[in-house]
Amino acid sequence: MRMQLNQSKNSVSKSRFAEKLALAATALVGTAIHAQENDAEWDFSASAFAYSEIDRVSAAELIFTGEKDFSDTSNFSFKVVLDSLTGASANGAIAQATPQTFTRVSANGQYAIAAFETPTDNNYRDTRAQVNVSWTDALTEDTRYTVGSNLSKEIDYLSFGVSGELAKDFDRRNTTLSAGVSLGVDRFAPLGNVPLAFASMVVDNGQFASNAEFQTAFDATRTTESETINTAELLLGWTQVVNRRMLFQFNYGFANISGYLTDPYKILSLVDNSGISQDYIYENRPDSKQQHSVFGLMKYHLDESIFDVSYRYVSNDWDIQSHTIDTHWRFFSDNGSFWEPHVRFYQQSAAEFYTPFLSQAQLSLPAPGPEFASADYRIGDLTAYTIGLKYGFQLEDGDRAEVRLEYYKQTPNDANRPSGIANLENIDLYPEVDAVILQFNYFF
Amino acid sequence: MILGALLTFLSGCSSMGVEPWDRDLLAKPEMAVNSSPLDQAIDDHIYFSKEASSGGRSFAGGGCGCN
Amino acid sequence: MHYSRIAGEILMIKNLILSISITLIVTLSTGVNASSEPSDTSQFDISQYRGKVVYLDFWASWCVPCRKSFPWLNQQQQKYSAEDFVIIAVNLDKKRSLAEVFMEENPASFKIIYDPKGKLAKKYQIKGMPSSVIFDRNGKAAFAHTGFFVKKKNEYEQEIQNLIDSSKK
């Protein structure tokens, strides 16, 4: 039920292909949809999005959505996403004063990294397709339900999820309470199969007489072909209208994720007490993660603009805690166009098993060494900010378009810089991220 | 500090809300809780890939309150 | 050193935003609903229509189901003689120009009166948008509806017909 105002549209400009795709998607949701005497039309959107990190990964994405009211109270929507990821991704090892060689994830080759360069696997290429569907309807005058499903596939990863949500209005619809559950099951079949935790990366430096010998040694470091990941999430929400100009929302979320949570493509450098890398070992993370989040949002309508600010706190049992502040300010012009600046601050504390590298000393302690370790900078201590600007405008036939340009910068915090291993002083142990985002949306 | 804020906040609770005919501004699509779902989904995807936290937002409420 | 200062600044900004939000919520919860448009509410008196069935409809330009209700109301006004049945649509927009734009796209063949301050809506204790109150020929409220549902059109029409037929002179 979309009871928000829609922008006026010219029905002549609907695409026939889009209608057919929409009908096919409708068939997925079941046969119980009988179009009533209803002249509601489909609303579509098409988006193109590009993300590019300086010297690292780039992504391009195409998104197509459609939605339609099927009765006074029901609404169906779908989304199709195609995306492609290319470029270099940090593999977890640290730079050295000498060049380094690593084996590719699928073991069919190697790559060399120059001295003082942060090791990245630059043969990183992944394409993904995703479909989401969702159906919402009223149960009683004041309650609504929504059910949805999503399916996503890429070369090494399959993800399937379902979700359901109930919402109830109180006090002239000024208060809405909602509860939602989502369940997901993913199957991860990494290229080159799942590595043994902390196994050494087999690198062919000429010690193997044949490729078959290399392959045998490589296979000895692998276990299963695929692993599963199960996700269960609960989200409780309270939306409240304060006055004619303002509303807020508070959410509490709980997530339980279990299964294979390690990144099979990431390694750690194992260094001696001079900081010289002796070995590369595959990382290992716990097989479960429980997470709590609280979220608050406020939206305020001034005379010619709308301002919103939100805060989110997330905490999990890997000891990661994060704070996010996100704010937008949309300024309207008379001709139906708008400018919207956007600022986001993010700060997270490192997972307890995060370490930029491991030393041999740590692994040869009389007490058992670390059970989990990962050098993935994305679970380290970091601060990030995003600054962006969006422009939206109306086209002559009543359709709308938007363009958004953003800059994302992530910097590691210095809280966990280890007390010196002398030779690592002039090595950059913590990668930064510098990215530009460009997006076009078209609504018709 | 948060407790103090919450108490101040809750004391104003009983007077919150508008009459059904005063929802003209709230009815605007830009005032919906999820007013830019495309951008939201893209942002969630980026930050899920680059950071260690995910989720927290969703759901609807507010709006024009019609039907 | 630089980074922990950023963390400290983020904490400060977080506190600032929390304080601003609270100030906004507490101090701006006063009525911000005033409209400066002229109102016709003094012109409406149900006793003026004694002898006729009156359909009092409350609508606004921002109310999406009102786009469905207007064509149906036109039909009803057409169907029943003006001696038996009258529709009065009360507009609740705060700016009359918004109502006029709506009516260009959704023309009305029935009477419109303007209640920008919501006085009539309050008098009839409207619970949602749109709303309707249907009065019998004696000026007594017989039916009230919150919302306009396409699937209930027959039900609405049945009520109008019943009121027109009963208490016919």
Over the stretch C71-117, which tens digit does the pLDDT of each residue have?
999 999 999 988 889 999 999 999 999 999 999 999 999 999 999 99
Does residue A1 belong to any structural domain of this protein? Answer: no
Q: What is the pTM of this model?
A: 0.85
Does pLDDT of A177 surpass 70? Answer: yes
Does residue A4 belong to any structural domain of this protein? Answer: no
Does pLDDT of A374 surpass 60? Answer: yes
Does residue A386 belong to any structural domain of this protein? Answer: yes
B21/C148 touch (CB, cutoff 8 Å), yes or no: no
Highest mean pLDDT: which range of A22-31, A102-111, A359-368, B8-17: A102-111
Over the stretch A7-18, which tens digit does the pLDDT of each residue have?
334 333 344 455
Residue A171 C-alpha, separation from nearest chain B C-alpha, in angstroms: 8
Structure tokens at A317: 């049992």
Mean pLDDT of C33-37: 66
Out of A5-19, A34-48, A211-225, A391-405, least confident range: A5-19
C10/A323 touch (CB, cutoff 8 Å), yes or no: yes
Residue A435 C-alpha, separation from nearest chain B C-alpha, in angstroms: 10
B62 touches chain A (CB under 8 A): yes
Q: Residues of B with CB below 8 A from C128's CB?
A: 20, 65-67
Mean pLDDT of A310-315: 96
Q: 3-class DSSP state for residue B10?
A: helix
By CA distance, what is A303's nearest residue in C? C32
By CA distance, what is C4's nearest residue in A? A413
Q: Are A340 and A229 in contact (CB under 8 A)?
A: no
B30 touches chain C (CB under 8 A): no
By CA distance, what is C118's nearest residue in B? B21
Highest mean pLDDT: which range of A224-233, A356-365, C8-17: A224-233
Mean pLDDT of A57-73: 94
**How many independent structural domains does chain A possess?**
1
Over the stretch B1-52, which tens digit does the pLDDT of each residue have?
566 566 666 666 668 999 999 999 999 999 999 999 999 989 988 898 899 8
Mean pLDDT of A322-341: 96
Query: Regarding predicted confidence, which is higher, C42 or A289?
Result: A289
Contacting chains of B (3 CB pairs or more, <8 Å) are A, C
* pLDDT at residue number A139: 96
Q: How confident is the model at residue B62 (pLDDT cuts 50, 70, 90)?
A: low
Does residue A3 belong to any structural domain of this protein? Answer: no
C21/A3 touch (CB, cutoff 8 Å), yes or no: no
A244/B18 touch (CB, cutoff 8 Å), yes or no: yes
* pLDDT at residue number A152: 93
Mean pLDDT of A24-48: 62
Does residue A69 belong to any structural domain of this protein? Answer: yes
Expressed as residue numbers, the domain containing A390 is: 11-443
B7 touches chain C (CB under 8 A): no
C10/A71 touch (CB, cutoff 8 Å), yes or no: no
21-60 of B, contacting A, C-beta below 8 A: 22-33, 38-39, 41-42, 46-47, 49-60
Q: Tell me, what CATH number does A262's domain have?
A: 2.40.160.40
Query: Regarding predicted confidence, which is higher, A298 or C42?
Result: A298
Over the stretch A210-261, which tens digit does the pLDDT of each residue have?
999 999 999 999 999 999 999 999 999 999 999 999 999 999 999 999 999 9
Does residue A332 belong to any structural domain of this protein? Answer: yes
Residue C31 C-alpha, separation from nearest chain B C-alpha, in angstroms: 9
* pLDDT at residue number C22: 63
Does residue A342 belong to any structural domain of this protein? Answer: yes
* pLDDT at residue number C6: 63
- C112 class by beta-carbon count within 10 Å (0-12 exposed, 13-18 middle, 19+ buried): middle
Q: Which of B20, B27, B52 sits opposite A379 (nearest CB)?
A: B52
Q: 3-class DSSP state for residue C58?
A: strand
A242/B25 touch (CB, cutoff 8 Å), yes or no: no
Residue C99 C-alpha, separation from nearest chain B C-alpha, in angstroms: 12
Over the stretch A182-199, which tens digit does the pLDDT of each residue have?
999 999 999 999 999 999
C28/A5 touch (CB, cutoff 8 Å), yes or no: no
Q: Average pLDDT of chain A? A: 88
Does residue A76 belong to any structural domain of this protein? Answer: yes
Interface test with B, best of C61, C62, C97, C113 (most B CBs within 10 A): C62
Does pLDDT of A296 surpass 50? Answer: yes
CA C98/CA C114 separation, integer angstroms: 12
Q: Which residues contact A383 (CB under 8 A, 6 or more apart)?
A: A345, A346, A347, A348, A410, A411, A413, C3, C6, C7, C10
* pLDDT at residue number A153: 93
